[in-house]
Each structure stands twice: as C-alpha cells, then as structure tokens.
Chain A
Amino acid sequence: MPLLEVLGGRWGYRSSEGIFYPARAIDFTVDAGEIVMLSGRNGCGKTTIMRGLLGRATAQHGTVNWTVARNEVGYVPQESGIDHSIPATVTEIVRTGDPARWRRNGAEARSALEAVGMQGHADAAFSRLSGGQRRRALIARALIGHPRLLLLDEPTINVDESGARRVGELLQQLASSGLGILATSHVSGWVAASRRVPVSSAGERA
C-alpha cells in the first residue's frame, strides 16, 4: 500500500485570466523507503503539483489517496519560502516545525538536527548558514514530529554541486530508514536511487 497515490492528478491556480493549469495530468505513487522525483524544466508546474497535494491550489482534478495522516507529512518549502535574514537560531527554526509542542520539542529538534548532520550548528544564526546547510536545517524542521512522508520543493535551488550532493545523500539515508520522499527538481543527478516521474507542461486556462 503506497503512502501516496495520485491518479490523473491535475492542479490549477487562479490568475487574472481564470484558472491556470501549468502541468498535464499526472500519475504516480510514493512508497515507504522510496524517493520519487517529479522532474521537468522550470515553469512546467512541479511546484503547483506540490502545492496542490498540500491543499494550496485553487482547483484540483483526479484522485489523490493518502494512507498517511496530515500530521505524518513533513514539508520542506522552496528556498524562498523562508527569509534568510530572519534573526533566528537554527534550533528555533527547526522547532517551528511543530509549534503546538514548543515547550516540549527541544530534544526532538536536537535529534532532527543530528539526523541531518547539523548538530554542531544548533545555536548558530540561521542567516549565517550556507545554502546547503539551510536546506538541511529545513529538512530537520520537516522531520520534527516523525513524519512518514517527506515532501520537498526544489531542494537544490541555490545550492552548489557539493551541497546538492550532500542533500541527496541525506535523502537516501532518510529513505533507507523507511521514510517515503517526494521531491521536485529541475536538475537531475544529485540524488541516486530515485524514481523519476516526468512532469509535462500544459499551460492551459479554464
């Protein structure tokens, strides 16, 4: 039983000329311990699919079956999702991943940072991390609360080659522990052992 199954999934958002569907309908599944990569060129609609899965799109068609609860899904937004200059420590950023348990999630945040190899930066300023370190910190943030499925939107944007490789190695390590991973990326080769699902541009309005 896959953690997530999408059949004929198609999502759109409101634009000044009506609902815009950037990508064609898509089918895929994500199993436990598997890395699935939604790949395609810039602007083909990968982020809209990701946002649609998270309930942030205006229109949805097709069938989406989840076998995980909402609070078992971790989400790593695009790099631009969080202001880099924010005066927060890395630990504080990680702890915002589970705000309801703020008073009790300090130890969990430290474990999550350890899982992504960032335990040495727990008290560092988020604004002073490199691009690759920021990605790993945001992955740690998504891991807090022990998700079964991790969604990552363009995890290698603004990360150099070695940083991207380290993010890829981290995802493989997380997948080997049983976590299902769905990521979008317009580049390939930074993570081995992933199943690629091509996203085709549609550019349709309704």
Chain B
Amino acid sequence: MSDLLAVLAFSWIPLVGAFSFALAAAPLGAVLSLRDEILLGLALPPVGAAAIVIAVWLGIPGTATLQLYGVAVGGILLVTLVMPHKSGRASPRWRVAFLASVFCAGEAATLVVSSVSTSVEAHMQHMLRGELLAIGPSALIAFGILTVVVLSSAYLHRGYLFALAVDEEGLGVRDPRRAGRILFGFRVLSAVIIAAGVIWVGPLLTIALLAIPTMFYERRARGLARLVIGVGLMGALSVLIGFAGAIAGDLPPAPVVVGALFALGLALELLARVRGWRPKGAAERDA
C-alpha cells in the first residue's frame, strides 16, 4: 500500500490528466459514432502526432507544449475541413477510404520525420509511445481549464450536438446559417479534444477512448443523454482501473488502460446479458 501511495505521489498528474481527458474524449467518440464518423477518431490522432513532430523538426522546442498543441489543433482542423462532406458527391465508401488514407499518411509522416530528426527522437518519443508521465503541472492546469470549457460548452449546446448527431440535414433545413456555424464549432471542439489527447495520453489511448466505450455501450444506452454520460464514466473509470493495474504490475499505463476499457466493456456486456438489459421498446407496434 505504501508503495502504491509512493508511486501515486509522482504519477497523480498524468492520472488526473488522463481521467479528465476521458471525460471529454469518450462522449466525443459517442457523438462521432452517432454521426457515422467514428473513423475520424482513428484518422485524426496520427494527423495531430504528425503535425507535432513536423513542428519540432522545423524548430519549435519539444517543451513548448502549448505551441505544439496549437499546431496539432490546426493540423487536425485542416483535415476535417477538407474532408468530403456527408451530403456531398463523395460516396460513404470513398469517405472511409479517404479517412483510412489520412491515417496512413499521418503515421508515415510521423515515422519518417522521427527517423530524420534528432530533436524529435529526443523529445517526442515519450508522447508517441503514449507515456503518460510526460505532462507537467502547468500543462495539467491549462488542459484542466480546457476540459472544463469544452464540457461546459458541449453541455450548454447539447441540443445542437444531438441534432447534429441525429439529423444534420434537418438542422440545416431549419436554420441553414446557424447549422454551418454549429458544424464548424463541432469540428473545432473535436480538434481541440483530439489534439489534447495526442499530447496528454498519446495517439493509442486517444483512439481507444474515442472508440471502445461507445462500441460497448451504444447498443445498451437508453437515450442520447445516457449514452454520452455512460461512455464518459466508462472511460474515466477505465483510466482509474488501468492506472492502478499499471502501477501494481509496473507496466506502461496506456496499454493497460486500453485493457481496462475492454475488461469493463466485456463486464458490462456480460451483466447486460445476465440481467436482460435492453432499450425500452414501444408499448404497442402498429406494423
């Protein structure tokens, strides 16, 4: 027990960072999934990582966290803005291929720049490997404020978030000018969260927190509000369990948190089957 407390004494910063990130990332994953855009969650973290290593290669100090964060947000936002729109001429299959290609391009750029730049090799490997001990107290405070702002903003505008998730075209029909602004705001919000994840917890855990809670919980959720709250709690709880497991087993936290996400999801699935949980049905059906 004393060993655990001793480890926590120097690892509480990454623990709090990852915990608060999970509270924002998992609900974002749920909304992306509802919009049939979960592949964005796969494609964008490598873009953020590539933007950061390129910036370091070009001379931005590896310790300038906020500058690198801005670069990652910019890179991610750029890709989401040039991405073919759902209602455009591009087919859904082409959009999937586009996002898979973006993932490959981001990974390739990161690998190439990492191999040719000594400063990237020296400062960025911990981030790319998802070593959560990388963030410091000042970054934690900045990102903590960011999390509060993002979650508050999402909560205040949850009607628009749900409308975007359910029927973007309907939103555009009702209020075309505002719909464009809302979609842009959502893209910025996504970029802000995903870029924070790349720096905080690395690309692997970012992708995992976006996808895994939604994968397990979406079919069981009884409503949109419960879905976003449920996946947020699932992600945050997995971070706590994963950190405890990593400390106990002297293992790297990120992959153990991923394992905890799966373990928690499977436990939920098992419990749901045993208890017969399912979404509430209609009292009568007329067809």
Taking a contact as CB atoms under 8 Å apart, the answer to whether A92 and B225 are in contact is yes
Say yes or no: is A133 at the interface (Cβ < 8 Å to chain B). Answer: yes
Residue B221 CB within 8 A of the other chain:
yes
Asked if A14 is at the interface of the complex by the 8 Å CB criterion, the answer is: yes
A96 touches B279 (CB 8 A): no
Residue of B nearest to A166 (CB): B286
A110 at the interface (CB under 8 A from B): no
Structural contact, A103 and B159, CB atoms closer than 8 A: yes
Counting CB contacts under 8 A, is B185 at the interface? no
* 17 pairs, CB–CB < 8 Å, chain A vs chain B: A73-B173, A77-B169, A88-B166, A92-B162, A92-B224, A95-B159, A96-B162, A96-B166, A100-B178, A124-B281, A125-B222, A125-B223, A125-B281, A128-B279, A132-B286, A141-B170, A166-B286
Q: Complex: how many Å from CA A141 to CA B174?
A: 12
Interface string of A100-113 (1 = CB under 8 A from B): 11110100000000
In chain B between 169 and 207, which residues have their CB closer than 8 angstroms to a CB of chain A? 169-176, 178
B104 to nearest A CB, angstroms? 27
Query: In the assembly, what is the distance between CA of A17 and CA of B192, in Å?
Result: 39
Contact residues of B between 206 and 247, Cβ < 8 Å to A: 218-219, 221-225, 227
Give the distance to chain A from B22, nearest Cβ to Cβ, in Å: 20
B280 at the interface (CB under 8 A from A): yes
Question: Chain A contacts of B145 at CB under 8 A?
Answer: none
Given contacts A87-B224, A103-B159, contact A75 B174 (CB under 8 A): yes
Instruction: Evaluate contact between A75 and B218: CB separation under 8 angstroms.
Output: no
The reply to whether B162 and A99 contact each other, CB–CB distance below 8 Å, is yes
Q: How far is the CA of A93 from the CA of B175 in the complex (A)?
A: 17
Which chain B residue has the least Cβ–Cβ distance from A89? B223
A130 touches B287 (CB 8 A): yes
A83-B170 in contact given A127-B279, A129-B282, A132-B286 (Cβ < 8 Å): no
Taking a contact as CB atoms under 8 Å apart, the answer to whether B169 and A128 are in contact is no
List the B residue with the shortest CB-CB distance to A82: B167
**How many A-B Cβ pairs are below 8 Å?**
123
Contact B283 A120 (CB under 8 A): yes
Q: Is the CB of B281 within 8 A of A128?
A: yes
A48 to chain B, nearest CB (A): 14
> Which residues on the B side are within 8 Å of A123 (C-beta)?
280
A55–B284 Cα distance when bound, in Å, is 37
Least CB separation from A96: chain B residue: B163
B100 to chain A, nearest CB (A): 22
| B283 engages A159 (CB within 8 Å) | no
A173 part of interface (Cβ distance < 8 Å): no
| Partner pick for A124 among B159, B162, B163, B282, CB 8 A cutoff | B282
Counting CB contacts under 8 A, is B158 at the interface?
yes
Question: A146 to chain B: closest CB distance in Å?
Answer: 13
Q: In this assembly, does A54 line the interface, its C-beta being within 8 Å of a C-beta of chain B? A: yes
Q: Is the CB of A130 within 8 A of B286?
A: yes
Contacts of B34 in A (CB 8 A): 83, 86-87
B285 within 8 A of partner (CB): yes
Report the Cα distance A30→B162, complex, angstroms. 32
Taking A87-B224, A96-B163, A120-B283 as contacts, is the C-beta distance between A70 and B170 under 8 angstroms? no
Q: From known contacts A128-B279, A129-B285, infer whether A70 and B175 are also in contact, taking CB-CB under 8 Å.
A: yes
User: How many whole Å from A173's CB to the nearest CB in chain B?
Assistant: 16
Smallest CB separation, B239 vs chain A (Å): 24
Contact of A87 (CB < 8 Å), options: B36, B222, B281, B286: B222
Instruction: Report A-chain residues with C-beta under 8 Å of the C-beta of B160.
Output: 99-100, 102
Instruction: State the 5 A-B residue pairs at the shortest beta-carbon distance, nearest first.
Output: A102-B159, A125-B279, A99-B159, A130-B287, A99-B163
Residues in A whose Cβ lies below 8 Å from that of B166: 82, 86, 88, 92-93, 96
A136 to chain B, nearest CB (A): 9
Cβ-defined partner of B175 (8 Å) among A71, A88, A133:
A71
A195 interface residue, CB < 8 Å from B? no
Contact, CB under 8 Å: B218 / A87: yes
Task: Name 14 extra pairs, CB < 8 A, besides A97-B174, A124-B283.
Answer: A54-B173, A81-B167, A87-B279, A88-B166, A99-B162, A99-B171, A100-B159, A100-B160, A102-B158, A102-B160, A105-B159, A125-B281, A133-B285, A141-B170
